[in-house]
Structure 1
Amino acid sequence: MDEHAIKILFSKVLQQTASEEEKRKLALYLRDHDIANTAEELLPFEEWEAAMGGPLPKALRTGIPARILPVRKFYRKSLWYAAAVAVLLVTGLLMLRVYRLDKAGRMLYTTSRTTGKQIRLPDGSTVYLNADSRVQFSEDAHERSVVLHGEAFFDIVQQASKPFVVKSGNVQTTVLGTSFNIKAYPDENSISVAVKTGKVSVSARYPVLKKDSTIFLEAGQQAVYGNRDHLFALSPVDTAAICGWQENRFVFEDACLGDICKTLGRQYGVQFQLKDPALSRCIYSTTFNQLTLAEALEKLTLLGDLQFELQGKTVIVKGEPCHPL
């Protein structure tokens, strides 16, 4: 891009009139010139986000322009260019960096360990990304594709000629237009797909037979894929509870304590430490409705012989191991 084209993109981003494709072009340009990456090394992206809606920290207002501008001699050639880069970094990068670009040029959206976010994809689809999650989005003439690590609720815009495919671990979910939730954290033993509206097909590789297994889910249905046995388990699901995590509501049905602790740990930004690993296999059914951490721990103590002790950001779990069926 020549200098005039970059000026126009800078202006549109700062005035919040840039399209997704224009923001993507500028993000790609900044990445290729090390500007965006250098900014993130100086302050993590979470600190840029935290500055939204309030006064910018002094390091953002003064330190970053002084340290960024000398990165490339190219920027010294034009006083306007230097000023534009400084202004973009201080006021525009917050908006621009809603997503990043990976090495393949795919859009990469991420969340922090404790905070989720709502994002809008270039095709108009909406994704509600849970904490400690990320999605990579790409699109070509035949398909819209997302790679998910973590948990997300998708509200997909229908395009009959271009299906929307979500790849999460060994599971692939294909839709045309619907809303559904996928939970696929790498440290958990299963991947779940729950449909709120519409219909999806869910496929996974069955290594024993060396072929794919495909099932179809409609609204109010859920499939849980075991990463160990490579089998699907189907069950009905309350559509109101599918995306309850967006409002700090969680429904656990026959869930092991280990998975409950992982979910609550992400929600409240704490680490659960089970004194006896056998406790993780205990099975419980419970609901948390907009509870504080202290209230959630108190409710857990009512489920069985469990004690919880909060030490800083760590929750120590004690109790007698149970013997789930």
Structure 2
Amino acid sequence: MRRIGRVLLLVMALAAITGQTSPQTAAWPTQPVRMVVAFPPGGATDVMARLLAQRLTAEIGQNVIVENRAGASGIVGSEAVAKAAPDGYTLLFAPSSHATLSELYPSLPFDPVRGFTSIATFARTPYLFVVSPGVPAQSMQELIELARRHPGEIAYASTGMGTAQHLAGEMLRRVAGIDILHVPYKGSGAVRADLLAGRIQSMFDNVAVMLPYVRRGEVRALAVTGPKRSPLVPNLPTLRELGLQEAEIEGWFVLLGPAGMPDDTVRRLNAAVNAVVSAPSMVEQLAELGAEALVGRPGDVTALIVGDRETWGRVIRGANIRVE
């Protein structure tokens, strides 16, 4: 009898443990999901995140709420996610600049790869190189010649040190052999206001964000940074066509979570994001923004981050770019 009693107690204990863990995993999600964007509202990362959040809400049956937590070139929001509980309810919608944070900040409080769980890819997009209307250059060649005649007088803006905009400008400076000045801003709103007003002469920026200004004639586009022409601006040459292929750059957007997320939750999220991304309406919507939908596995996310960290890390080290 004692033995039977002990067996019963063991069975009951196992049942209790199972009852505490399995339903939580099986039931995910049971509450709203917070998707952190580590940049201010209105930028390309914010625009893309809200596209995903709206569709993902319908796909998983819970609200996906975008939360902007800007600061320190994306570190503030990223660190908040890295330190969050790995339960699938706090996620990070990260742009390609996430990959180079550790190259720029030696004392970064997290590792861009090991500090996160890779979940899903979303989209990639080239950048446009644009100038303010007052710049007397109608083509990239004319802009380069102008910069050579006036070294240090033409400035290009970015939304922060080490961002894709900054690195693209640094590569253009090196490849074209021109002396142009980098002016980092703390947010997208201020930099575009100064560009439109002519207080800053040029910048690289995401097609999705800059195209409306180009179409309204508020800025002039001179080149596209991807390996092929954009169907949205088919007459615009690529940097490769102009002999500046070393300055090519494409942005991308991925979904991450805190390190240690349950495999089952990651699989569910990956499947849900892939369903959203592969929907014809989303593919079309992204194409209208100059972006390409990216269906992928968690391993593809890691490969993007590691690959860009190696590629642009060499540029950062070569130019001795550091952020204190």
Q: TM-score range by the shorter chain?
A: under 0.3
| TM-score in terms of structure 2 length | 0.25
Flag the structure with higher helix content. 2
| TM-score in terms of structure 1 length | 0.25
Flag the structure with higher strand content. 1
Name which structure has the greater RCO, CA cutoff 8 Å, separation 6+.
2
